[in-house]
Amino acid sequence: MKIKNKSQLIICILIPLAIGALSALFSGNMSYSGLNKPPLSPPPIVFPVVWTILYILMGISSYLVCTSDSPDKRKAIRVYAAQLFFNFFWSIIFFRFENYLLAFIWLLALIALIVLMIYRFYKIKPLAAYLQVPYLLWCTFAAYLNFMIYYLN
């Protein structure tokens, strides 16, 4: 990966990190530990670590797309922005409002946007798409957790 503009890379990384931090702030203090959880539920400490890594990967991917010469980069960045919007509100729906069914449906829409984003990123810069595969896998795992929490609670 060739870095053309370090400050743009930093900004691209800070955007999803800030969105994640704001989402966590607005999500409130609902106790995840008090919920009936399904098998394979990781300990709470795993979530902030994984999300930080995923947000950094998102920022790097968006940087790769933004600095490309592709005429399709605007379309790809619009999908990226849309998935960030859905990402932002998922935890608020789940934790603040404790609406697990709506959060699950919202997460399915987010997963669809992630798939579309990966497709659009791949057409521009395959590495940008590959960096999003862990995000897709994590959100798929989160959908399992979300649905089972809905079912068990």
Asked if the model's pLDDT at residue 52 lies above 80, the reply is yes
- Alpha carbon distance 109, 107 (integer Å): 5
Q: Greater confidence, 1 or 43?
A: 43
Q: What is the pLDDT of residue 135?
A: 98
Asked if the model's pLDDT at residue 29 lies above 90, the reply is no
Query: Which among 45, 22, 20 is positioned nearest to 32, based on CA atoms?
Result: 45
CATH code at position 21: 1.20.1260
Q: What is the CA radius of gyration of the chain?
A: 16
Q: What is the pLDDT of residue 129?
A: 98
Q: What is the pLDDT of residue 118?
A: 98
Boundaries of domain holding 63? 6-27+42-152
Domain contains 142: yes
pLDDT tens track for 118-128: 999 999 999 99
Give SS3 for 46.
helix
Q: Are residues 3 and 129 in contact, defined by beta-carbon separation less than 8 angstroms? A: no
Domain contains 118: yes
What does the pLDDT average to over 39-65?
96
Going by the DSSP 8-state scheme, the letter that residue 32 receives in this structure is: G
Domain contains 35: no
Asked if the model's pLDDT at residue 67 lies above 80, the reply is yes
Domain contains 32: no
Query: Which among 46, 9, 19, 17 is positioned nearest to 128, based on CA atoms?
Result: 9
Note the pTM of the prediction, 2 decimals. 0.95
Q: What is the pLDDT of residue 34?
A: 85
Q: Greater confidence, 44 or 146?
A: 146
What does the pLDDT average to over 131-149?
98
Across the chain, mean pLDDT equals 96
Q: What is the pLDDT of residue 80?
A: 98
Position 2 confidence tier, pLDDT thresholds 50, 70, 90:
confident
Domain contains 1: no
Domain contains 110: yes
**SS3 readout for 54-96:** HHHHHHHHHHHHHCCCCCCHHHHHHHHHHHHHHHHHHHHHHHH
Domain count, the chain: 1
Residue 34 CB neighbours (<10 A): 8
90: left (phi over 0), alpha (psi -120 to 50) or beta: alpha
Give SS3 for 3.
coil
Domain contains 34: no
